[in-house]
A and B are shown apart, each in its own frame.
Chain A
Amino acid sequence: MSKRIALVGMPNTGKSTLFNRLTGAGAKVGNWPGLTVELLSAKLLLGDSMVELVDLPGLHNLHGFSEDERVARHFIETQPVNGLLVVLNATQLERQLALVLQLKALGLPMLLALNMADEAASRGIRIQLDTLSEKLGLPICLVSAKHGHGVPELRQALTAWLHRHPDLATAQARVLAEDDNIEHTLDTLLAQTVHVPPVLSPSHTDRLDSLLLHPWLGLPLFFLIMLTVFQVVYGLGAPLQDGFGWLLDAVKTRWLAPAIAGLPAWAISFLLEGLYDGIGTVMTFLPIIVVFFLAMAVVEDSGYLARAAFLMDALMSRMGLDGRAFVLQLMGFGCNVPAMMGARVIRSRAQRILTMMTIPFSLCSARLQVFLFFTTAVFSPRAAPWVLFSLYVISFAVTFLTAWIWRGRARHGADPLLMELPPYRLPTLSVLTRQSLRESGHFLRQAGGFIILGVALVWFLTHFPLDAAPASPATLAGRLASLMEPIFSPLGIDQLLSIALLFGFVAKEVVIGALAVIYGAGGDQLSGILAQRLDWIQAYSFMLFTLVYTPCLSALATLRREAGGSRYMWASLVWSLGIAWLLSFAFYQTARALTQ
């Protein structure tokens, strides 16, 4: 019979880090309460048995009612397990042990891992492990998941513990533990086992906070930091991208083209101008995406996101949102889908849905690709980063506008904002490596999946019938585009570009690939063509539209699932299309009128 252990703990105690340590599998790590939102499980060999380890979302207490706490509690109450591996932050036992006492009432075998041993040591906190273990009647290990200290011992303890509890058990119908009782037990327990130095000297976190959370400097510093991060990504990623593009081009002309020269013309066109150019152009973004996600990982792991929530909450509350929504917005810079799922930490339904409606306007990495391509093609190198920055600003502006207009009920049922401000932490190299490997894997899988399909379909639409000139009005794409012409010409978006937008509906990653196929050119050549055909007003109008026009298919599907109904999905779709059109229209017409 298979064995199963559930990993339980309060948010941000290092469950994911420990999960990664034990199983070698990739769970996402971040110094922000509430990041584990999906049940992640992996196999782990303990002694001679294979065990399934399930990482549950963070849980403050057994009476918690946020969406993610519900998931964790439901799992604990209904799924048979051999036992619970409870992760606690060793520096905060005074509040975290309460969860252990509550969990004990469930009657499941438990093993405690006191994590962050390194931080506890540096703060001078001493824990009498033997006494604590004896009083609680539970085996306890002191570990540092981040640095790997104590993890081999934890494995041994787990193996021995499993031997003692070989059978799956289900939680007993819960006796609602008397919390006052718990508190009393807890105080006695703590007094006997945990020694905290009476006066803590101000830590580096305190010193950094007095600057970064300064009443007046805090917000300007925040924007400065974000701007720096993007400058770094841009400065590091752009040359890498150029190099990669050059390489792909060289492979095509020196090697690929001669190799398939014998094939019929349409097949060459399909392989070279369809698949290779399409996918290759998307692939040139791999380096910049990796750099981008590395930077995101550093920001997430640093603990600064929770500070951003603190700084922005006053502003966000005026729009029916809160600081957490702002942070999810920032996380959406990577990909909107996990950011939407992160909204589960918000308890009020109205506010959670409002938050999810705003996240699609967050400028995700797929859109970043489109914008990087266009800004480098059409704008001067000096102007390009600023153009890009302006798009981020607009992304926030549209978010705020959306929240403000739709705030409705969320304004009243204000969800209490109550969250931990974790200490600043530096990510380890292994976390960063894992993160970038995961992101590039994700990117490659996408490129290998629907991007191939997308570009193949675009090639077909722009080349059929075969006797027509590619992408000319006689092709399928051409006919489709002339149907859409009345909608797009007031925005300065020509027919060929509108075809690419159509495919961007599936995923924004396809847009650049589609353009490469439509114009029959990849990489630098495509940039050249775009620079010739578009002036900056048209290019910017196209980017505005791309930024806002629709959440991609997977974002829409997530919205439907998380909001529990297609109503919000349709609302989001119609709203974003409408506002995208108005925005581009207003920009294009005004800019044209002014530059006449």
Chain B
Amino acid sequence: MTKLCSLNTVPAGRCCIIMRIDADSDLTARMRALGLQLGRRIQVMRRSPFQGPIQVRSGQTDIIIRRADAAAVQVRPCDPNIEHCPANESECN
């Protein structure tokens, strides 16, 4: 089993893959429209101080999302230096 964590806990600069989204259908559809969808590899660009939103890059799109909403996105973090996310768990921490 791969350990999942919430997007809001991923440190800046880290890449991860979206494994599950636990949001209502409206929010899920909106996330998808902005490029947050299952199986996508995304990168957390920065986190603003005082519990502000985080900036995430999915493909060519940069989006900002509040931490509370990012908590609904379950991801599997991976090493930012590896171009394609590793298939096996040991390379992913």
The verdict on A421 contacting chain B, using a C-beta distance below 8 Å, is yes
Is there contact, CB below 8 Å, between A418 and B48?
A: no
* Chain A proximity of B1: nearest CB distance (Å): 24
Is there contact, CB below 8 Å, between B64 and A310?
A: yes
Question: Beta-carbon contacts of B3-30 to A below 8 Å, as 1s and 0s?
Answer: 0000000000000000000010111011
Which residue on chain A has the smallest CB distance to residue B37? A183
The verdict on B77 contacting chain A, using a C-beta distance below 8 Å, is no
The verdict on A47 contacting chain B, using a C-beta distance below 8 Å, is no
* Chain A proximity of B37: nearest CB distance (Å): 7
Across the interface, B64 reaches (CB within 8 A) one of A95, A199, A218, A418, namely A418
The verdict on A323 contacting chain B, using a C-beta distance below 8 Å, is yes
Q: Which of A58-66, A379-387, A578-586 contacts B (4 or more CB under 8 A)?
A: A58-66
The verdict on A198 contacting chain B, using a C-beta distance below 8 Å, is yes
**Chain B residues with Cβ under 8 A from A157's Cβ?**
none
The verdict on A314 contacting chain B, using a C-beta distance below 8 Å, is yes
Rounded to whole angstroms, the CA-CA distance of A557 and B3 in the bound complex is 54
Q: A123-B60, A313-B53, A314-B50 are in contact. Are A64 and B66 (CB under 8 A)?
A: no
* Chain B proximity of A554: nearest CB distance (Å): 32
Question: Beta-carbon contacts of A95-111 to B below 8 Å, as 1s and 0s?
Answer: 10011000000000000
Is there contact, CB below 8 Å, between A309 and B64?
A: yes
Rounded to whole angstroms, the CA-CA distance of A10 and B29 in the bound complex is 13
Is there contact, CB below 8 Å, between A213 and B46?
A: yes
Which of chain B's residues 36-83 have a Cβ closer than 8 Å to chain A? 37, 45-53, 55, 58-66, 68-69, 83
Is there contact, CB below 8 Å, between A98 and B52?
A: no
Rounded to whole angstroms, the CA-CA distance of A423 and B57 in the bound complex is 12
Which of chain A's residues 405-451 have a Cβ closer than 8 Å to chain B? 414, 416-423
Is there contact, CB below 8 Å, between A417 and B65?
A: yes
* Chain A proximity of B73: nearest CB distance (Å): 11
The verdict on B33 contacting chain A, using a C-beta distance below 8 Å, is yes
Is there contact, CB below 8 Å, between A417 and B29?
A: no
The verdict on A224 contacting chain B, using a C-beta distance below 8 Å, is no
**Chain B residues with Cβ under 8 A from A218's Cβ?**
48
Rounded to whole angstroms, the CA-CA distance of A555 and B54 in the bound complex is 34
* Chain B proximity of A421: nearest CB distance (Å): 4
**Chain B residues with Cβ under 8 A from A255's Cβ?**
none
The verdict on A311 contacting chain B, using a C-beta distance below 8 Å, is yes
* Chain A proximity of B71: nearest CB distance (Å): 11
Is there contact, CB below 8 Å, between A314 and B60?
A: no
Interface size in chain B (residues, C-beta < 8 A): 34
**Chain A residues with Cβ under 8 A from B64's Cβ?**
306, 309-310, 313, 323, 417-419, 421
Is there contact, CB below 8 Å, between A315 and B50?
A: yes
Q: A198-B83, A213-B55, A313-B53 are in contact. Are A418 and B31 (CB under 8 A)?
A: yes
The verdict on A216 contacting chain B, using a C-beta distance below 8 Å, is yes
Give the one of B55, B66, B69 with max A CB within 10 A. Answer: B66
Across the interface, B48 reaches (CB within 8 A) one of A61, A95, A314, namely A314
Across the interface, B66 reaches (CB within 8 A) one of A95, A99, A315, A417, namely A417
**Chain B residues with Cβ under 8 A from A78's Cβ?**
none
* Chain A proximity of B47: nearest CB distance (Å): 8
**Chain B residues with Cβ under 8 A from A264's Cβ?**
none
Give the one of A310, A347, A422 with max B CB within 10 A. Answer: A310
Which of chain A's residues 276-334 have a Cβ closer than 8 Å to chain B? 306, 309-311, 313-315, 317, 322-323
The verdict on A262 contacting chain B, using a C-beta distance below 8 Å, is no
Rounded to whole angstroms, the CA-CA distance of A131 and B50 in the bound complex is 48
Q: A65-B26, A198-B83, A309-B64 are in contact. Are A95 and B51 (CB under 8 A)?
A: no
Question: Beta-carbon contacts of A65-101 to B below 8 Å, as 1s and 0s?
Answer: 1000000000000000000000000011011001100
Q: A183-B37, A314-B49 are in contact. Are A418 and B63 (CB under 8 A)?
A: yes
**Chain A residues with Cβ under 8 A from B37's Cβ?**
183
Known: A60-B29, A213-B46, A215-B46. 14 other contacts (CB 8 A): A61-B29, A63-B29, A94-B60, A95-B58, A213-B55, A215-B48, A306-B64, A310-B55, A310-B64, A314-B52, A416-B23, A417-B65, A418-B34, A423-B62
Binding site for A on B (CB under 8 A): 23, 25-27, 29-35, 37, 45-53, 55, 58-66, 68-69, 83
Binding site for B on A (CB under 8 A): 10, 60-61, 63-65, 91-92, 94-95, 98-99, 123, 125, 179, 183, 196, 198-199, 209, 213, 215-216, 218, 306, 309-311, 313-315, 317, 322-323, 347, 414, 416-423
CB-based closest 10 A-B pairs: A314-B52, A60-B33, A314-B50, A421-B62, A95-B35, A416-B69, A94-B59, A417-B66, A61-B33, A63-B29
